[in-house]
Amino acid sequence: MHVLPEVHDSADHVGLLAAEDIAAGIESAVEAGSSFVLGCPSGRSPLRTYAHLADLVAKRNLDLSHVIIALMDEYVVHTAKGFQLVDPKLPHSCVGFGRRQILDPLNAAARPEHRIPEQNLWHPDPAAEPGAYDEALAAAGGIDLFLLASGASDGHIALNPPGTASDSVTRIVELGEATRRDNLETFPSFRRLDEVPRYGVTVGTATIRDLSRAVVMVVTGAHKQITVQRVAAADAYEPDWPATVLSDCRSPRFLADRAAAALLPAAS
């Protein structure tokens, strides 16, 4: 199905709206006495969402004690012992990002008895069998809300490169050059392309599509204009632009700012 973006004046407002959706989901889960699994990307796109969510945690006194933060991906390195996660202390580590930008700020905003337990920061494991992360997420009841972002140059979602099959599950992938160049921009600690990891462990497009009850995609900035155009035009998943998986998800919401939506007729 076509999912047209809601176009808003600023990236900050996009982040606030996404955070409000997450906060409402957490409140509903607390009322139902259930856990709340939040699928989380790293990178620049969701930073405003996480900052606003921390503000809402403090303002609404949200109980996060049953929240599970399910990270999308992580860079890995190939060693003599097989693939291993990069050191979480590195600036480009997604697990490190999850702690610095999501877990720690949310817990700092929450009352001590309402904080997310340390063990509830989840991430895929390169040493596990493909699909094991999917099985763990399914056993937790699925992903209540998956926050999504898209690569600017090739439409990658998580670390799924162009050409990803629609039935892909969590697995190790080789990163394409366009994805690695996007990450070169995201992490200034990389000085050259050859410093960007060549492999990652990532959720698949089927992980996102089949295990999520709702998804919210946030796309902001003029450099994301092609992404908005491609995703808005899609009525089903297109392997050459993996972010189009949004079209196949349940309860999708597509949030963009005016800079990112400038190529759409209604935004001109």
Q: What is the pLDDT of residues 39-85, one digit of tens each?
A: 999 989 999 999 999 999 999 999 999 999 999 999 999 888 889 99
In this prediction, residues 251-267 reach a mean pLDDT of 91
pLDDT value for 179: 76
On average, the pLDDT of the chain sits at 94
Q: What is the pLDDT of residues 148-170, one digit of tens each?
A: 999 888 899 999 999 999 999 99
More confident of the two residues 247 and 153: 247
Question: What is the maximal distance between C-alpha atoms in the chain?
Answer: 54
Residue 266 pLDDT level (bands cut at 50, 70, 90): low
What percent of the chain has a predicted confidence (pLDDT) above 70? 99
- Name the nearest CA neighbour of 125 among 69, 74, 67: 74
Residue 268 pLDDT level (bands cut at 50, 70, 90): very low
Strands 36-40 and 67-71: parallel
DSSP sequence for 73-139: EEEEEEETTEEEEPPTTSTT-HHHHIIIIIIHHHHHHS-GGGPPPGGGEE---TTSPTTHHHHHHHH
Strands 36-40 and 121-122: unpaired
Contact by Cβ (8 Å): 258, 8: yes
Q: What is the pLDDT of residues 90-132, one digit of tens each?
A: 988 999 999 999 999 999 999 999 999 999 999 999 999 989 9
Q: Confirm whether pTM is higher than 0.85.
A: yes
- CATH number 3.40.50.1360 given to 6-267: yes
